[in-house]
Amino acid sequence: MDIKTFEHFAIETAKSAGEVLISYFGKLTHVDNKSTDIDLVTRADVESEKLITTAIKKAFPHHNIIAEETDFETINSDYCWIIDPLDGTTNFVHTLPIFAVSIGLQYKNQTILGVVYNPVYDQCFHATLNGGAFLNNSPLNISSTNTLSKSLLVTGFPYIHDERWQASFRLFEDFYSRNQGMRRLGAAALDFCFVAMGRFDGFYEFNLQPWDVCAGDLILREAGGKTSDWDGITPMPISGKRILASNGFLHTQMSDVLMQEKYRDVFLVSRG
């Protein structure tokens, strides 16, 4: 099928899901917990996901779906939609308008389409493989910052408060002592897009999930940026395990900080 068909479908579906999110924004009466007391889920997450997955099942009944809030049975298909119905739930719950719908599409395990939509600002980021990256149809461009000392970086911290969570703060401090600033926005899909549009020069995180990274990864690469494992070489794992995303110019410098001996044991890829 034509990529344009998928692109049009994903953009329209993300915008419809965005309307669902807006209908709950600032009006939530109840919030549930998932893995921990700070891992939240709301009716907005669930309703947005229902809208997206129902639309996919109707339009492409033979495609696989991986979505954050629902386990779908695996179908024998080369296509797989990877969905975060609401990235930035904690922000959403606190009426902070930094959140998005994220829809990615893989063909034979390669991402061919990514859409990230923030309905509050009506900002729709999208990219197709080898087709460029756009914000509301204007091409996206990465920053030209090429030294860490002039950079503004973004990161995030995992929900599970273990030794890696503690080490994440040491790493945060380590970067902060070398650059112009660090930010933690709380919506990984938008972190990728903000690197893609040159607001940030780089982004790293540990223990994300496929739905956090799938669409944003392609949007950043199509904007001219680079993504990989923290080692700077291995392609970015769709598992979201160790994510390094940058304008490309800072990739090695960021990888050098992440791969220091003192962090290596804590953030081993082989650890669960």
Contact footprint for Ca ion (CB under 5 A): 68, 84, 86-87, 212
Contact between 155 and 201 under an 8 Å Cβ cutoff? The reply is no
DSSP character string of 58-98: HH-TTSEEEETTBPPPP-S-SEEEEEEEEE-HHHHHTT-S-
CB of 8 to Ca ion, least distance (A): 24
Question: What residue 201 binds from Ca ion, ligand IPD, none (CB within 5 to 8 A, per partner kind)?
Answer: none
Grouping H, G, I as helix, E, B as strand and the rest as coil, residue 173 is helix
What is the DSSP secondary structure assignment for residue 212, as one 8-state letter?
H
State in angstroms the smallest separation of the CB of 234 from ligand IPD.
20
Between residues 140 and 185, which has the closer beta carbon with respect to ligand IPD?
185
Please give the angle made by the CA atoms of 103, 194 and 32, to the nearest 5 degrees. 55
Cα separation, 220 vs 204, in Å, equals 13
8 A C-beta contact, residue 24 and residue 43: yes
Report, in Å, the least distance between residue 47 CB and Ca ion: 13
State the first-to-last Cα distance of the chain, in angstroms, to the nearest integer. 37
- In the bound state with ligand IPD, the residue whose beta carbon lies nearer, of 158 and 198, is 158
Q: Which does 208 bind (CB under 5 to 8 A by kind): Ca ion, ligand IPD, none?
A: ligand IPD
Angle among Cα 147, 148, 154 to the nearest 5 degrees reads: 130
**How far apart, in whole angstroms, are the C-alpha atoms of residue 259 and residue 48?**
38
CB of 62 to ligand IPD, least distance (A): 27
User: Which is closer to ligand IPD, CB of 86 or CB of 249?
Assistant: 86
Least separation in angstroms between CB 266 and ligand IPD: 17
The interface partner of residue 198, options being ligand IPD, Ca ion, none and the CB cut-off 5 to 8 Å by kind, is none
Q: Which is nearer to ligand IPD, 87 or 217 (CB)?
A: 87
Q: How far is the CB of 1 from ligand IPD (least distance, A)?
A: 29
d(CA 70, CA 72) in angstroms, rounded, equals: 6
CA–CA dist 154, 194 (Å, integer): 9
222 contact choice in Ca ion, ligand IPD, none (CB below 5 to 8 Å, kind-dependent)? none
Q: Helices marked H in the chain — which ranges?
A: 3-24, 43-59, 89-93, 163-176, 188-196, 210-222, 251-258, 261-264
Output 52 or 244, the one with its CB closest to Ca ion. Answer: 52
For the CB of residue 84, give the shortest distance to ligand IPD in the complex, in Å: 5
Which CB, 124 or 208, lies closer to ligand IPD? 208
The amino acid sitting at 238 is I
**Footprint of ligand IPD (CB under 6 A):** 84, 87-89, 156, 158, 186-188, 208, 212
Distance CA 108, CA 78 (A): 5
Contact partner, 88, from Ca ion, ligand IPD, none, Cβ < 5-8 Å per class: ligand IPD
Q: Which residue is nearest to ligand IPD (CB)?
A: 156
Q: Which is nearer to ligand IPD, 67 or 148 (CB)?
A: 67
Count of CB atoms within 10 A of residue 185's CB? Answer: 18
Residue 156 site contact among ligand IPD, Ca ion, none (CB < 5 to 8 Å, cut-off depends on kind): ligand IPD
